[in-house]
Amino acid sequence: MYKKRLYAPGPTEVPPEVLLELARPVTHHRTAEFRSLLGEVTELLKYVFQTSRDVYTITGSGSAAMEASVVNVVGAGEKMLAVVGGKFGERWSELGKAVGAEVITMDVPWGTAADPQQIADALKKHPDIVAVYVTHSETSTATAIDLKAIAGIVGKTPAVLVADCITSIGALEMRMDDWGVDIPVTGSQKALMLPPGLAMLACSEKAATKIAKTKNTSYYLKIPAYAKNLAKGDTPYTPANTLILALKTALGMIRAQGLESIWAETSLRARAMREAAQALSLTVYSRNPSDSVTAICVPDGVDGEALPKKLAKDYGLRIAGGQSQLKGKIVRFSHMGYVDNFDTLAQVAGLEMALRDLGAKVEIGRGVAAAQKVLAGA
Ligand SMILES: *Cc1c(COP(=O)(O)O)cnc(C)c1O
């Protein structure tokens, strides 16, 4: 018998303290208690976003915040730049088309990071671009971009920078105010140690100014309604208040450990996983790997779709395979949220065992030893 372990890059495992909050009786949201709770959660979110601006919490999965950051910012017929290097980057371009924007798509080879200079060139070529959409950590390819450098470039132009930080906030360094990221968006079920159901975003003054000027066709996702209500401690519609209660506990844990420490630990675990892959003569897919998720290429001769299934069925280890063009070609392991160094060792051990079961030549323990040396600082 194996314990069930959730190592997919979302949803991720939820700590017992947070699960217990989810078991509490449902409360009413138009109360002083809820307003005080939302106030506390918003302050904690500001810390996690590294901003002094308000952070809005929307009931919905991460894509709700993505949609809000498009429909409120780009009017029909306006030009936006979508940087696309994977499944989630594609979503920016699809959302832009859905709101009737003129979408300029910058295709980046999957598994590589967008070149900030290329973004600068695109902005020079199209000075009427009103917003630039990037993916800080592209979960489908396990690739990170240099968001700080990109923010430095976009910040010198009138364009608003929107970043999908769904697998970066709470795992990788992301500093909204210092770097000048105008709208970072995230969701509850990746690095924030919660079940799916909440989406969050914040808007810089530059972003808020653009939003105020944009003809907004949405109703549920209208950001000014969230802003107006939050000023009174409220949400415009019934919030997922049980999740918000649990969010307070999860963010409290993040605050207690400190973001810098979490970023460093996440980075160490990702490095351990990459060194394990190297020791096993496996290839890390990304040329610029994100530390929140690692994608490893399935070796020749191994059924790449059978590998995650085998890990789940025989070893209780739920990871993710590849999507779209990467289907059957990679396996992805999360380093986000409620994980520790022993989870990394379990990931490597499981990978070795399942690969061997599927006929690959694997020296059992070789990857584990390499990972353990990194984790132990040996
Ligand atoms: C998970 C994820 C999303 C999608 O979020 P949903 O919660 O499924 O709507 C978007 N972008 C990235 C980078 C993600 O990892």
Tens of pLDDT, residues 125-173: 999 999 999 999 999 999 999 999 999 999 999 999 999 999 999 999 9
> What pLDDT is stored for residue 104 in this prediction?
98
Global pTM reads 0.98
Distance from residue 63's CA to the centre of ligand 1 (Å) = 6
Average pLDDT over residues 268-291: 98
Average pLDDT over residues 273-292: 98
Protein residue with least CA distance to atom 12, ligand 1: 166
Instruction: Decide: 67 in ligand 1 pocket, CB within 6 A.
Output: no
Judged against a pLDDT cut of 90, whether residue 343 lies above it is answered with: yes
> What pLDDT is stored for residue 281 in this prediction?
98
Distance from residue 279's CA to the centre of ligand 1 (Å) = 31
Protein residue with least CA distance to atom 2, ligand 1: 166
Q: Give the C-alpha separation, 78 to 96, whole Å.
A: 10
Q: What angle do CA 80, 141, 291 make, to 5 degrees?
A: 105
Q: Give the C-alpha separation, 81 to 70, whole Å.
A: 11
Instruction: Decide: 93 in ligand 1 pocket, CB within 6 A.
Output: no
Residue type, 121: D
Pocket residue to mutate for ligand 1, from 61, 166, 167, 290, most atoms within 8 A of Cβ: 166
Instruction: Decide: 61 in ligand 1 pocket, CB within 6 A.
Output: yes
Does 5-11+258-376 match 16-256 in CATH topology?
Answer: no
Distance from residue 62's CA to the centre of ligand 1 (Å) = 5
> What pLDDT is stored for residue 295 in this prediction?
98
Report whether 351 contacts 326 (CB < 8 A): no
* Dihedral (CA of 310, 312, 314, 315) sign: positive
Pocket residue to mutate for ligand 1, from 57, 58, 70, 139, most atoms within 8 A of Cβ: 139
Instruction: Decide: 163 in ligand 1 pocket, CB within 6 A.
Output: no
Average pLDDT over residues 270-279: 98
Instruction: Decide: 135 in ligand 1 pocket, CB within 6 A.
Output: yes
Domain boundaries, the chain: 5-11+258-376, 16-256
- 16-256 maps to CATH 3.40.1400.10: no
Pocket residue to mutate for ligand 1, from 110, 167, 291, 294, most atoms within 8 A of Cβ: 167
Ligand 1 atom with the smallest distance to the CA of 135 is 13
Q: Which structure tokens are listed for 357?
A: 């079961």
Protein residue with least CA distance to atom 15, ligand 1: 139
Instruction: Decide: 62 in ligand 1 pocket, CB within 6 A.
Output: yes
Instruction: Decide: 139 in ligand 1 pocket, CB within 6 A.
Output: yes
Ligand 1 atom with the smallest distance to the CA of 66 is 10
| Arithmetic mean of pLDDT over the chain | 98
Residue 87: band (very low, low, confident or very high) from pLDDT cuts 50, 70, 90: very high
Tens of pLDDT, residues 225-242: 999 999 999 999 999 999
> What pLDDT is stored for residue 260 in this prediction?
98
Three-state helix/strand/coil letters over the chain: CCCCEECCCCCCCCCHHHHHHHCCCCCCCCCHHHHHHHHHHHHHHHHHHCCCCCEEEEECCHHHHHHHHHHCCCCCCCEEEEEECCHHHHHHHHHHHHCCCEEEEEECCCCCCCCHHHHHHHHHHCCCEEEEEEECEECCCCEECCHHHHHHHHCCCCCEEEEECCCCCCCCCCCHHHHCCCEEEEECCCCCCCCCCEEEEECCHHHHHHHHHCCCCCCCCCHHHHHHHHCCCCCCCCCCHHHHHHHHHHHHHHHHHCHHHHHHHHHHHHHHHHHHHHHCCCCECCCCECCCEEEEECCCCCCCCHHHHHHHHHHCEECEECCHHHCCCEEEEECCCCCCHHHHHHHHHHHHHHHHHCCCCCCCCHHHHHHHHHHHCC
Residues 6+ apart with CB under 8 A from 320: 8, 9, 308, 331, 332
Under CATH, which number does the domain 5-11+258-376 receive? Answer: 3.90.1150.10
Q: Give the C-alpha separation, 88 to 186, whole Å.
A: 12
Instruction: Decide: 164 in ligand 1 pocket, CB within 6 A.
Output: yes
Judged against a pLDDT cut of 90, whether residue 117 lies above it is answered with: yes
Residue 216: band (very low, low, confident or very high) from pLDDT cuts 50, 70, 90: confident
Residue 76: band (very low, low, confident or very high) from pLDDT cuts 50, 70, 90: very high
Distance from residue 280's CA to the centre of ligand 1 (Å) = 30
Judged against a pLDDT cut of 90, whether residue 318 lies above it is answered with: yes
